[in-house]
Amino acid sequence: MSNLRELAGRMKTISRNTFKRKYGNLLGLLKVEAQVATITTLDQYYDPPLKCFTFQDFQLVPTIEEFEHILGLSVKGKVPYKYSGQHTSTVMLKEILKAHPVEL
């Protein structure tokens, strides 16, 4: 992490702005202090192919709206919802993922 922080610190303003436009507030995560023991414990439950944490039969995955909130990529000022049963529209997915609707 220290190497990534150092690399991010060396980025010029133009590079930093380009990176932020392309990837959102990802560099902001470098400022978050993490507890090594907690990360090590959670690591054993991470499932790389699914890209989520799996606890026995339960998967812990943020919704698109939660990712949007975590990364600071707000779409029309909506906050993450915390219940299931609501489907995300193709238009909202297009805006969040910056992909053509045909690809979705």
Q: Mapped to the 3 state alphabet, what secondary structure does the chain carry? A: CHHHHHHHHHCCHHHHHHHHHHHCCHHHHHHCCCCHHHHHHHHCCEECCCCEEEECCEEECCCHHHHHHHCCCCCCCCCCCCCCCCCCCHHHHHHHHCCCCCCC
pLDDT for position 12: 92
Q: For residue 32, what pLDDT band results from cuts at 50, 70 and 90?
A: confident
Q: For residue 81, what pLDDT band results from cuts at 50, 70 and 90?
A: low
pTM of the complete model: 0.37
Q: Does residue 50 carry a pLDDT above 80?
A: no
Q: For residue 84, what pLDDT band results from cuts at 50, 70 and 90?
A: low
Q: Does residue 23 carry a pLDDT above 80?
A: yes
